[in-house]
Every structure is written in structure tokens, then in C-alpha cells.
Amino acid sequence: MSSSAPGMVTARQVAESLGVAISTVGRALADDPRISTRTKTLVQEAAARLGYVENLPARMMRGGASRLIGLMLPDIRNSFYATIADAMSRCCDAAGYQLVVSIADDPAVEARHARELASARVAGILIVPTPEPAPETRAILARFPHVQLLRRAEGLAPIWFGIDDKECLRAGTTALIARGHKRIAYIGGEMRYSTGAARLAGFRQAIAEAGLDPSLTMERLGPPADTRFGAEAATSLLEAGQPPSAIVTGAVQLTGAVFGALAASRNPLARQMAIAAFGDESAFNWWPGKLVAMAMPIEELAQSCGTWLIERLRTGAPLEEHTYLAATKLSFRLSGGR
């Protein structure tokens, strides 16, 4: 007899409404080839009409496959991650899967969410990992097909879809140097994040390639999603004895925070500051100053990642080592020369 929560329609009730055996209902919903197309259609229509919700573990015991895919993100408060979630959801829907989104940027919370996704018998997991996932998280993910997205962490599958972070920041910084800037500051994520380390390396590479004196540059590193840190970093740069003439940002939320701090400042240098901004958000269009926007093909990246995983789930192909690197583009809004 099917167990269910109070008020839930059971497989037995679906069977009784059609006058068929309960086993027929189970097999029809599992797309068993022994059941005719007509019977499958009748069962599916009855299940929909009655509001029947299938028991996933029971279906999997009958040989059915999970249609859930987990997406583990550190944040969803900006359009960067929201775009990823939206693109992934559409990708899953088109392939007959359903996306389950988890928000965690703490190893303990990440482990708990991984455990819950595992208990839900997800078919696969797409994860933007914390810098050092807990041993439990690594052990859980090892049992499921999973792909690392944007960030990379040791001990997880060697399958990564990301942005060429180093080249992105190198190109953005070089664009400012080409316009005469020498005192350039960088506000970005901490080096414990793989993305933070790569972006800082790109900034430093641009400075070295241009032969600039590194002592003229300033670096402020902190949590990439902490807008307070971004605003305080920008304010401290303005108040420095020799403030920079340009700022390079290394995270979308830090970019917004820097713009906000400069706009609120009474320092006359604030509106003269040139910015090489990580992210080409529509929300940044209000900024009236000099801007080089580092635009990432986030939707394309998410679609590629989701399609790659789903294709392997569908065909049963092995998830071997794989890297997909999305190139960024610069867009310019520079006025008045420098």
C-alpha cells in the first residue's frame, strides 16, 4: 500500500479511478515499455486530474530515473547568479528535468544542502563551490555526477565550466593603462577563492606587462559579495594621500558598491575616477563617469554547462575530465580622453 502525507492522492486512488491495477499505474508513470501508449496517456491524465504526486524513491526502486538537477550557488542577489539560475532552469525544462536551487556560501551549510540534494535523489549537481568544501560535501558529491561552475575547489570532479578570469582582468586593466592611467587600484575578492586569485593575477600581469611601478598600485581584497567592504574600500582609496586615478573591480557586487560609494562621496575626485568594472550590468548604466565594462557571457556559459551535463545523464556517457573556458568582452564608455 502506498504511504503518503495526509491529503495526498495515492497511486491506489489513481488506479481505482481507472479500474486498473496499482502496478499498472506505477509502470505507466515510469514509462515501462510493457505498458501501452494509450494506457500511459490515461494514467498520466488521471494523475494530473487528481493531483497525484509520485513518490520519487519508490519510482527509482522500480527502475525510474530522477529528473531533478541541483544547482548550488553562493548567492542570488545579483543578476550574475540570477542569470545562471534562469538559464539553467530553461535548459533543464527543455530536456524534461527540473532545477532545484540551493544558496550556500559557507562550508557547513553547503554540506547540509548537499546532503538534502542527495536525499532527494537528484540526477546530477551543478555547483559553485566554497573555497574549501567540507569532507562530507566531497564524499556526497563523489557519488553523484557533478560539475564545478565558475569556481574550482580541490577534491571535486575535474569538470569545470568557467570564465577566463585572469585574461578578463588583464584586458580591463590594460585598457585603463592605454589611456594613461598609472595610479590604479584593484578592489576584488580574496585569494582563497579560485576566481579571486585568478582575477588578481590578471590585474598584476597587466601592470607588469606595461612596465608600471607596482608601488603606484593599490590592492584591496575582501569578501566578493560584501557590498560594505566594496564601499569602504572605495572610500579609503579616495581618502588616501595619493589617490588612484582609476579603479579596477573584480566582482559584480563590488562593482555596484564602488559606484555607490563614489556617487555618494563629496570628494571632487570621485566623479573623475575611471572604472574598469567586472560585469556589464544594466543596473550600472546610470554611472556617468568613464567606464570600461568587462562583460561575461554568463547565459551562454550556463547553457553550455547544463546541456553538457544533461547530455551525459541522458546517454550514460562517463563524466571525464573536461574544461570549458568562456571568453569575456570589453565594452567602452570613456569620455574626455582619460
Judge whether residue 134 has pLDDT over 60: yes
pLDDT at res. 98:
93
CA distances from 243 to 58, 95, 289, 298 (A): 64, 52, 17, 33
> Domains in the chain, ordered, with CATH?
11-61 (1.10.260), 68-163+299-325 (3.40.50.2300), 165-297 (3.40.50.2300)
pLDDT at res. 63:
47
pLDDT tens digits, one per residue of 35-51: 999 999 999 899 888 88
pLDDT tens digits, one per residue of 213-270: 999 999 999 999 899 999 999 999 999 889 999 999 999 999 999 999 999 999 998 9
**Dist CA 121 CA 57 (whole Å):** 7
pLDDT at res. 59:
52
pLDDT tens digits, one per residue of 286-320: 788 888 989 888 999 999 999 999 999 988 888 88
pLDDT at res. 333:
63
Judge whether residue 332 has pLDDT over 90: no
pLDDT tens digits, one per residue of 55-68: 655 555 444 557 89
Q: Is 244 exposed, middle or buried (0-12, 13-18, 19+ CB in 10 A)?
A: buried
Query: How many residues are listed for the chain in this entry?
Result: 338
pLDDT tens digits, one per residue of 157-186: 999 999 999 999 999 999 999 999 999 999
CA distances from 286 to 230, 260, 281, 289, 320 (A): 18, 11, 10, 9, 45
Mean pLDDT of 73-96: 92
pLDDT at res. 197:
96
Joined grid coordinates for residue 157: 570532479
**Dist CA 250 CA 315 (whole Å):** 38
Joined grid coordinates for residue 88: 539553467
**Dist CA 57 CA 66 (whole Å):** 9
Rg (CA), the chain: 25
pLDDT at res. 310:
95
pLDDT at res. 306:
95
End-to-end Cα separation, the chain, in angstroms? 75
